Structure 1
């Protein structure tokens, strides 16, 4: 009875994806039943004959995880613990390190540290591998177990063993946990320029950016020279908030479109009238850790010629995930669409290429540390336009304009070269607005 019920449930989902013709449905039904018979045979064999007694729920979850893992890196099943972690990350604060991580070939890999967190201050970088926690090997374990071990009471310490591509030997970093305040937007004024840093696109991020613009003007007593929108190491978040943030700087026009499986599955999102910045110069800072929602904002402002995109090529995650609740405590996170910039570009794999490429020379590991992007993930979605491999391998190109190093910059008091360069550029653009058009006119 249970076997028949499971087969019928899975078959109903499979048939929903099949073209509605009688012949196709009949063939799909036969193939699906044969495949499900094989699955149930294996399931029963494992239950009956495996050397140790196994839990049915564990087997079913393993089968679901395997099915979704065969699709792309961003589709997954969220059990009760995953659901709670997602809620914590989006709604509250927690004791931890401030890291976004993923699992790759059994190893925990850093996507990006959140700016201003213990992990960021401790020197953890995107692309690092974490092999041990307090001397205990975590290779081959689950990502959830590793995340739980890294979280803990504020004030307690944990030792991370790091393997960094480009370095010969692993090294240890001791980090003290803190309450990770999930504040998506922060701002400051530097040299009369408003610097708005967005660390994630969670609820109310658009409203917070508008509040930041008001705060900048109030602190100066007048309008700033321009704005720098810092999206570096921002892994993304909510699509709606990416649209809201883009709308802050745009008067009109398309912001982004998303296209699903069918040609008719197209949704377009447009800016409302009113530029909160009054048309002042805008620079968007990005790097290899700027992903998803960050790329939507950078792509919209670039295509609309509203601002200069500066820094490094972005991560290249051009897909949309939909959270589909399955119960009160479980859900399916499924890739349901690709998104496109106003000019029709898909950023999948290739990312957003900056208008002005500026390396982070204040990072002492800049030249030796490889960049980690969507194209490095197994089973990533392929860009339908076929990205040139040379674009994916161009991080090592040298630029004669930037012939210096971190030590020399530090002596000059420059701790963040990309931000320093952006501040200088805003100053030049304010004196000669024609330069903005010159830099952006080539972006079609």
Structure 2
């Protein structure tokens, strides 16, 4: 089997069966004061006491699985054990279709925190936001549970309802949100044309991300009349929690001709790897803007860091999540698997974004959505010279020129409307427009400046 690594807060991929030479390890440890033998004896003694003396009868399998998961989860928030059923679910997710609410979550100080809601899912429709904390599911507290156990509480049959209690920054009291579970079908990339700019919304990094990216950009370019008609490209990575490392590398490579994309460094020097770009740029040198926010994590940060360090893109939005580690999913006995943090990753300049995140080149917060009552209010009617009775005609423009001026005004009004709907996206489009008007593009650098060392 092939070995894969994931760069996400959640995700599933097939890994290799890891064989461990236990005997040499035990022999080496035997000389130490607290040997592995003694520690295993301690574990066995505790296990026997629980089986024999606990107030209720325990399930041996569940007890051992809990011990394994406790061992892994004590390492970091992203290492964990997956029993066979969870492992099967995770493998399905990387293929892009599964049942659930459409929320990526992580653990923060023992609480379940939303990394991002996925586009077009019950969580997104219900208004769940990145940074929300989920404290209860159907009235049952999640405090003290592992992340996998908390996620289990949120799972259920498609069509069934679940009520989440949410704690949100800026709200004085927790509040309940009721969602209906649905089949989550993730389209990795959605493309559209906006003001002669290709908008590529990347929601996840699964097996389909790079093929979807190629196809989406091709369709948008055809709609514009050819890629030469495009002003530039916007990669929207907001609320993208990550996914497969291989796909993050492929997406970065799509817009870089050469140079390092990312490096990973494990515990041993020989486990370090560097991934470099190959010739070819899908955007053909057009300017690129990358949109990020606090829900952009891991694989999203790899792409952002690579394009930012090479000066291939301008990064707009707010600081990203800050997950700079890579997990390997390793199948074990009984058809389960463990997700183990095996390396850290570094951007081309050598910086680690672990617990720091990526700072945008231009910080642009997203204004909160206006209440429906505000949207419904009529704006005052304005009048111009053209509305006056008996107005003089404009004798300096032909009918075709007048039509062109009207078209340009309509486009400007659409752009103003977009600012109300999605200010960050509108800001990115304005940057692309400005570069196009000035006849400028972004000139990539082959060797990014090395990150400063403390």
RMSD: 3.1
User: Please, which of 260, 281, 286 is the counterpart of residue 287 of structure 2?
Assistant: 281
CA gap 1:151/1:77 in 2 versus in 1, 3 angstroms: closer
Match of residue 431 from structure 1? 437
1:99 and 2:114 correspond: no
1:32 and 2:36 correspond: yes
User: Please, which of 41, 50, 65 is the counterpart of residue 61 of structure 1?
Assistant: 65
- Structure 1 residue 301 displacement after superposition: 0.5
Quick check: 2:309–2:448 contact (8 Å CA) kept in 1? no
TM-score scaled by structure 1?
Answer: 0.79
Quick check: 1:305–1:440 contact (8 Å CA) kept in 2? no
CA gap 1:197/1:137 in 2 versus in 1, 3 angstroms: same
Match of residue 45 from structure 2? 41
Q: Distance in 2 between matches of 1:210 and 1:139?
A: 43
Paired residues for 1:357-396 under 5 Å: 357-363=363-369
Q: Distance in 1 between matches of 2:445 and 2:171?
A: 37
Quick check: 1:362–1:417 contact (8 Å CA) kept in 2? no
User: What SS does the aligned partner of 2:162 have?
Assistant: strand
CA gap 1:107/1:354 in 2 versus in 1, 3 angstroms: closer
Q: Distance in 1 between matches of 2:334 and 2:304?
A: 36
Q: Distance in 2 between matches of 1:168 and 1:410?
A: 33
- Structure 1 residue 92 displacement after superposition: 4.5
1:70 and 2:74 correspond: yes
Paired residues for 1:290-439 under 5 Å: 290-327=296-333, 329-363=335-369, 414-432=420-438, 434=440, 436=442
Match of residue 188 from structure 1? 192
Superposed CA deviations along residues 48-106 of structure 1, whole A, max 9, x for unmatched, are 11111112212211211111122111111111122122023212523332111234555
- Structure 1 residue 124 displacement after superposition: 0.6
Superposed CA deviations along residues 87-137 of structure 1, whole A, max 9, x for unmatched, are 232125233321112345554322210123221121111221223334454
Match of residue 123 from structure 1? 127
Q: Which has the larger radius of gyration?
A: 2
TM-score scaled by structure 2?
Answer: 0.78
Quick check: 1:101–1:112 contact (8 Å CA) kept in 2? yes
User: Please, which of 254, 257, 266 is the counterpart of residue 260 of structure 1?
Assistant: 266
State how many pairs are aligned: 388
Unaligned runs of 5+ in 2: 1-18, 372-414
Match of residue 210 from structure 1? 214
CA gap 1:185/1:344 in 2 versus in 1, 3 angstroms: same
Quick check: 1:250–1:274 contact (8 Å CA) kept in 2? yes
- Structure 1 residue 321 displacement after superposition: 0.6
Unaligned runs of 5+ in 1: 1-9, 366-408
Superposed CA deviations along residues 158-178 of structure 1, whole A, max 9, x for unmatched, are 332212132111122233333
1:50 and 2:54 correspond: yes
Match of residue 249 from structure 1? 255
Quick check: 2:77–2:106 contact (8 Å CA) kept in 1? no
Match of residue 237 from structure 2? 231
Quick check: 1:11–1:29 contact (8 Å CA) kept in 2? no
Quick check: 2:322–2:358 contact (8 Å CA) kept in 1? yes
Structure ranking higher on relative contact order (CA contacts 8 Å, 6+ apart): 2
User: What SS does the aligned partner of 2:283 have?
Assistant: coil
User: Please, which of 163, 179, 183 is the counterpart of residue 179 of structure 1?
Assistant: 183
